[in-house]
Copies of this chain bind each other. A is one copy, B any other.
Amino acid sequence: MDVPALPDVPVRAVLELLAVVVGAMSGALAAVRKQFDLFGILVLAWAAGLGGGVLRDVLIGAVPPVGISDGRLMAAALVGGLVMYFGHPRLERARRMILVLDAGALALFAVVGTVKGLEYGATPLAAVVVGVLTGIGGGMLRDLLTGEVPVVLHQRQLYAVPALLGSIAMAVLWHADQRGAVALTAVAAGVFALRVAALRFRLNAPGPWRGTGPSSGR
């Protein structure tokens, strides 16, 4: 795969903005369902779209986090929030499409988050942690702020695992000096494909261990 015609930074920036919009839409939808007011809806849009990156930046010392200082990212969260605010009666029916877009956001956040951690000199282990956190942290904040147990922790269906595998792959490639657009795109595509497959084929993580005795049949 050869992509010399595509300049690296703009593509990455555009995709990241799109990921923020999609994340923000999920936050705004959760807030609409809880009857939050307009301010609360926009805060949830911000938290779901940019909260994972804010946690990452605080953990690696990149303060103030881009999630509160970058005007384009904030605008993307605002757009996502307003789109859902005005469009939610129709957008709720587009649930399937939103799940697919969210898979793309997960993939991008995990890859971009891991790379940023490595760029800030984090250990590979810490970079993987903040990569996964960039992918799932926004959704966790969304759930906590709406009074729910974070769905990523108990939903079974693979969500964090694709992000984790992608972050590990990205950290390995980085240390093998594969840091270009091709490497990032390939890993993000893999995370996206795995997440979509989990949705399509209902791939589940195991629940609590029930032992091997006769009572474990259920």
Contacts and interface: CB of A to CB of B under 8 A. Distances in A.
A154 interface: yes
A59 interface: yes
Given A68-B126, A69-B125, 18 more contacts: A32-B208, A36-B154, A36-B207, A37-B204, A37-B207, A38-B205, A39-B161, A39-B164, A41-B208, A43-B160, A54-B59, A59-B63, A59-B68, A69-B126, A69-B129, A85-B209, A88-B208, A88-B209
A39 B148 contact: no
A137 B57 CA distance: 19
Contacts of A43: 153, 160
A187 to B, nearest CB: 19
A205 B63 contact: no
Interface in A204-218: 204-211
Contact of A86 (B44, B146, B209): B209
A89 interface: yes
B129 A208 contact: no
A172 interface: no
A68 B129 contact: yes
Given A89-B211, A152-B40, A68 B206 contact: no
A61 B64 contact: yes
B149 A37 contact: no
A84 to B, nearest CB: 9
Contacts of A190: none
A147 interface: yes
A41 B160 CA distance: 12
Nearest to A47: B153
A12 to B, nearest CB: 21
16 contacts: A32-B208, A36-B207, A37-B154, A37-B207, A39-B153, A43-B153, A61-B63, A61-B64, A64-B130, A69-B126, A85-B209, A86-B209, A88-B209, A144-B145, A145-B150, A145-B153
